[in-house]
Structure 1
Amino acid sequence: MLWLTRIWTAGLLCILGACQTPSGTLVHLDATGRCTERICVDGSAELTASTHWTTCPASPMRLPFVKGRNEIQRVAYSQPAESNPAELPLLTDSQLTLATLEQLTLENHPTLAQGRAQLDGARGNWLQVGLPPNPVVGYSGQQLGSAGLAEQQGVFVGQEFVTGGKRRLDRQIAAWKIQRAERKLQALRMRVLTDVRVAYYDVLIAQRRRELIVDLVRVSEHGVHLAEALFQGGEVSEADPLRALLEADKTEILLQNTINQYLESWRQLAAAVGRPDMTVQQLEGELTPQALKGSWQDVLQRMLTDNPEIAVAQAEVEAVRWGMRRACAEVVPNVDVEAVVQDDRATGSSNSNLQVTFPLPLLNRNQGGIRKARAEVVAAERALDRLALDLQVRLAAAYQRYQSAENQVQRYSKSDGIISNSRRTLDVLKAGYQAEEFGVLDLLTAQRNYVQTNLDYLNSLQQMSTSTMEIRGLLSSGSLSE
């Protein structure tokens, strides 16, 4: 068991930086996404991070120096391992903010262009339905086979007069369809912005997660070199470098998976912005969104009052109500008037005719059309009620996710929370290890738990940011699904 204790000690020294070389850092996130402490690794493995990670003033944490290993550690750290830069996405020097991404979205998203085109079409329909019928002009000829003795030739003008206020009612229907198109455009705008905000926080979290895993990879790579040095010095058996290599391989897999997740999040963000060819860039911003204000009833009331989907459904109800009035007005017949002026060869004079016609609504009084219009009113009103219930169900699920995630974030980030207790456990075990009260296995387990705690904290932040953006966006999302 002596060799096992030694290799655990060597790995711990590598991870916590007991060597006397310049130190790198493993970072810990607080509630705002800024680091609050650093765990020493090797200075040659410095991570290029965002401003929230590079301004941490805390000093590195070191394990008590272990005698008899200094030379082996010095040899191991003289050959630092380097991550393959080709595995990381290429980043530009510029940093994108959420406000910049939102502006790009409003300028480039095809869904918004589609909504504006539909609105323009609704306005054109309003113009068209209010126009009167065109007059009819034609030639009239009678007795054309009388060899010019009794021919009657002339011109006529006809006009259909729309009665019953049908054109006015058509314009009312079209006006509400314009309202519906305008509110739908507002809904589309909220959808695309919500999608961008959710995708933005996903990339921001993936960016932080990648930075943390990069540090872990470098720690594991130094562990391999240190285990090899201990083996060459006869301190451990051949199994120990193999175990260290196995752990390093697992960490490399984790890094590659993290990079893949980061690239997936970035591609989704680029598509949400409407710029699928957008170059991968570093994002700037706070990890933790502002908490929601108000109680469940306040959030629900705002959802039912301000949600653009509700506004669209309300405009549809008004449109079909005017449609029912239009169906009732269809019973009033239109009037056709025709005037004819012609030359009568038989009498050598001119004459004129006037004809007024309209259908008698005896058999067809648009009974079926009226019944259909009334049914459409009922269907639209019930659809509005259904939408309100559906929003409440969706909000209940989103609000539960938000409350659970907020609770987790608070439990992680408060002064006596999970992250703080994990750090205290690490400090206690470090002091106990120095006093030979705890074994190296206990200390390494605490170190792994501390790192995993930070990753779990990031996951909670992601869940909280997603649910917060969805609720603030009034559950309007999925701008590319139509």
Structure 2
Amino acid sequence: MKITQESLRCLIMASLGMASIAGCQTGASQNAIQRESGPIATDVALQSELTSPPTPDFNDSAKSYREASRDRNGVELVDFQSSNLLESATVSNANAPIPIPEVPQEAMTLKEIQDLALTNNPTIRALSASAQAEQDYQYQVGRSANPEVGYAANQLADQGTDQHLVYVQREFVTGDKLALNQNVLGHSVEAQRWDVESQRYRVLTDVRMKFIQALVAQRQMDMIDEFHAVVFRGVGLARRRFNAKEAARADVLQAEIQLNEVEILRQKSEYRWKAAWKEMAAVAGIENLPPSKLDGDLSVVKDSPNWEDVYATLAMESPEIQSANSRIRQARSHMSRQEIQAIPNITANLQAGVDNSTGSGLIQLQVGAPIPVFNDNRGNVSAAYNEYSRATHELKRVEMSLKARLAQVSQEYDSANFAVQRFEQQILPKAQETLDLAEKAYEAGEFSFLQTLIARRTYFDTNLNYLDSLGGLAQSQAKVDGLLLTGALGQSSTSSLGDGLRGQTFSQQ
């Protein structure tokens, strides 16, 4: 079958156009974490003058990312199966395209994977258990002491004068210590619930970032597969032209080199895709999650945000800052609790019985209290003040940490945003124009086959780099939407006050 230069040029142009479309077509996806309109009310019972803001309930359903769809220009794809070039090309099976790995037919969305992660991630469950345990301690530290009931006997050796009594003894807590105990633990529960909320954001953000990595690799595999078909046919064309004495052996070698380079890139993209899937499954806390195609969108709003406004939003919504504020309130209430510790509790003992020597009944009452002469709890009061000072400095550290992380993310966002816009506005159009000119020059005999291969590779690399930049921009946006919280599988640690305050309440010596 005879192939005209014009039909060859049109086919190559259509092939490369199809390769660029694979990286640019988009669908509906989740773009941002949907923040709840207000904090979730806590059921912590605080029984002092200090009031606390509502805190998130770690048993509630998790936040989901905001969904946004943006239309992009569609381009009609060329079907290579109808090409005369395909029918006439005969190349060894060793150079056949690498097949796409077998995956389930149903494409998974970001929300589906995030829902799995919020249910199965071990760090969320561990922190939730810690918060629940602290709430149990909060209940315990407010319990009064059990009364003591007993029997006492006097003068048992002197028959006829012995006395037998039944007594009831109880320690009465003064200074409202039990209510203050619960207040301190209530703020601790509040802080730990904010810690759970922070971990939710970390999980959602990490899943979203791994999803973006896998989606970029998937788009790159699609693009490489389409470009591989073009290069594959180019090898066949170079061989036929060499056999017809119309091209040099170097043209065949260069075409085969380019084919092998494309296959290497394809394999690397597949490895990245599989690795991103494994990481995403690990963050979700699911073993052996089978890889499947992803249904997502890489497009983001490309207007650079006002970073001062972004920080103001972070300062108001960050669960890290909310947790730090809760711990400041906890430390302040603990100071108040230690200041009244020296107020002595009162122990009362009521006895009733019979005196056999007189045959009369007996009633005795004893009331006592420790005198704070040697131990006025001054050391604990000073320690509580220093804990309060430490908590205020911790809040400052969190604020500075947010600023530092935002500075890094803003640099990543602005750099990726600049690259994406430059690719879309200048580089991609110029790469397309360069390819067009190279194809025309090659057809007219003004360019060598090597120069045409270089133009093709430049166009191909440009589209791959554009996808990388688009993925980097989407990941930066994910960090901002996730309130700069990452590290879904970091060690979950939290401090617990336990029921020590109750023991302190009933042991004043």
- Between the aligned partners of 1:182 and 1:76, the Cα distance in structure 2 is 66
User: What do the CA deviations read for 1:327-369 (whole angstroms, capped 9, x no partner)?
Assistant: 1011111111111112222222221211111111111111110
- Between the aligned partners of 1:256 and 1:71, the Cα distance in structure 2 is 26
Matched, 1:453 2:453: no
CA contact (8 A) 2:85 2:233 kept: no
CA contact (8 A) 2:97 2:263 kept: no
- Between the aligned partners of 2:415 and 2:16, the Cα distance in structure 1 is 35
Matched, 1:106 2:98: no
- Between the aligned partners of 2:367 and 2:303, the Cα distance in structure 1 is 69
- Between the aligned partners of 1:71 and 1:322, the Cα distance in structure 2 is 81
| 1:194 aligned partner | 205
The counterpart of 1:480, out of the listed 480, 489, 508, is: 489
Matched, 1:387 2:398: yes
SS at match of 1:131: coil
| 2:504 aligned partner | none
Compute the displacement of 1:371 (Å). Answer: 0.6
- Between the aligned partners of 1:30 and 1:364, the Cα distance in structure 2 is 77
Q: What does 1:75-224 align with in structure 2 at a 5 Å threshold?
A: 76=90, 81-85=95-99, 88-146=100-158, 148-224=159-235
Q: CA 1:223–1:291 in structure 2 vs 1: closer, same or farther (change >3 Å)?
A: closer
Q: CA 1:303–1:31 in structure 2 vs 1: closer, same or farther (change >3 Å)?
A: farther
Q: CA 1:16–1:117 in structure 2 vs 1: closer, same or farther (change >3 Å)?
A: farther
- Between the aligned partners of 1:187 and 1:28, the Cα distance in structure 2 is 39
Matched, 1:439 2:448: yes
User: What do the CA deviations read for 1:27-52 (whole angstroms, capped 9, x no partner)?
Assistant: 214995459xxxxxxxxxxxxxxxx9
Compute the displacement of 1:77 (Å). Answer: 6.1
User: What do the CA deviations read for 1:240-279 (whole angstroms, capped 9, x no partner)?
Assistant: 6555444433333322221111100111112222323222
SS at match of 2:403: helix
Compute the displacement of 1:122 (Å). Answer: 2.3
CA contact (8 A) 2:23 2:220 kept: no
Compute the displacement of 1:213 (Å). Answer: 2.1
| 2:433 aligned partner | 424
- Between the aligned partners of 1:351 and 1:144, the Cα distance in structure 2 is 16
Compute the displacement of 1:408 (Å). Answer: 0.6
The counterpart of 1:322, out of the listed 316, 323, 333, is: 333
RMSD: 3.3
The counterpart of 2:19, out of the listed 24, 27, 37, is: 27
More divergent stretch after superposition (365-374 vs 126-135) = 126-135
User: What do the CA deviations read for 1:279-316 (whole angstroms, capped 9, x no partner)?
Assistant: 21111121212346741110010111111100000000
| 1:410 aligned partner | 421
Q: CA 1:234–1:364 in structure 2 vs 1: closer, same or farther (change >3 Å)?
A: same
Q: CA 1:119–1:18 in structure 2 vs 1: closer, same or farther (change >3 Å)?
A: closer
- Between the aligned partners of 1:422 and 1:172, the Cα distance in structure 2 is 66
Residue identity matched to 2:209: V
| 2:65 aligned partner | none
- Between the aligned partners of 1:72 and 1:464, the Cα distance in structure 2 is 38
| 1:373 aligned partner | 384
Identity, % of aligned positions = 31
Q: CA 1:243–1:24 in structure 2 vs 1: closer, same or farther (change >3 Å)?
A: closer
- Between the aligned partners of 1:436 and 1:323, the Cα distance in structure 2 is 86
Q: CA 1:154–1:298 in structure 2 vs 1: closer, same or farther (change >3 Å)?
A: same
CA contact (8 A) 1:209 1:458 kept: yes
TM-score of the two chains, using structure 2 as the length reference = 0.79
- Between the aligned partners of 1:203 and 1:78, the Cα distance in structure 2 is 32
User: What do the CA deviations read for 1:80-104 (whole angstroms, capped 9, x no partner)?
Assistant: 953343xx43211101122222222
CA contact (8 A) 2:16 2:230 kept: no
Matched, 1:396 2:396: no
SS at match of 1:27: helix
Residue identity matched to 1:27: A
| 2:43 aligned partner | none
Where does structure 1 lack aligned partners over 5 or more consecutive residues? 1-12, 36-51
Compute the displacement of 1:205 (Å). Answer: 0.7
Where does structure 2 lack aligned partners over 5 or more consecutive residues? 1-6, 28-70, 492-509
- Between the aligned partners of 2:204 and 2:85, the Cα distance in structure 1 is 58
| 2:76 aligned partner | 57
CA contact (8 A) 1:31 1:413 kept: no
- Between the aligned partners of 1:15 and 1:464, the Cα distance in structure 2 is 35
- Between the aligned partners of 1:226 and 1:216, the Cα distance in structure 2 is 15
Compute the displacement of 1:26 (Å). Answer: 4.1
Q: CA 1:29–1:304 in structure 2 vs 1: closer, same or farther (change >3 Å)?
A: farther
- Between the aligned partners of 2:359 and 2:375, the Cα distance in structure 1 is 46
Compute the displacement of 1:434 (Å). Answer: 3.2
User: What do the CA deviations read for 1:60-84 (whole angstroms, capped 9, x no partner)?
Assistant: 89xxx9xxxx999935369795334
| 2:88 aligned partner | 74
Q: CA 1:399–1:25 in structure 2 vs 1: closer, same or farther (change >3 Å)?
A: closer
Residue identity matched to 1:76: T
SS at match of 2:453: helix
- Between the aligned partners of 1:360 and 1:427, the Cα distance in structure 2 is 97
SS at match of 2:107: strand
More divergent stretch after superposition (234-243 vs 272-281) = 234-243
Residue identity matched to 2:471: Q
Matched, 1:288 2:299: yes
Residue identity matched to 2:153: G
Compute the displacement of 1:174 (Å). Answer: 1.4
| 2:373 aligned partner | 362
| 1:465 aligned partner | 474
- Between the aligned partners of 2:129 and 2:410, the Cα distance in structure 1 is 35
- Between the aligned partners of 1:421 and 1:161, the Cα distance in structure 2 is 86
Aligned residues: 442
CA contact (8 A) 1:30 1:413 kept: no
CA contact (8 A) 2:435 2:455 kept: yes
Compute the displacement of 1:145 (Å). Answer: 2.5
More divergent stretch after superposition (460-469 vs 235-244) = 235-244
TM-score of the two chains, using structure 1 as the length reference = 0.83
CA contact (8 A) 1:14 1:222 kept: no
CA contact (8 A) 1:25 1:60 kept: no
Residue identity matched to 1:98: L
Residue identity matched to 2:156: L
CA contact (8 A) 1:96 1:281 kept: yes
Q: Which has the higher contact order (CA 8 A, sep 6+)?
A: 2
Residue identity matched to 1:151: D
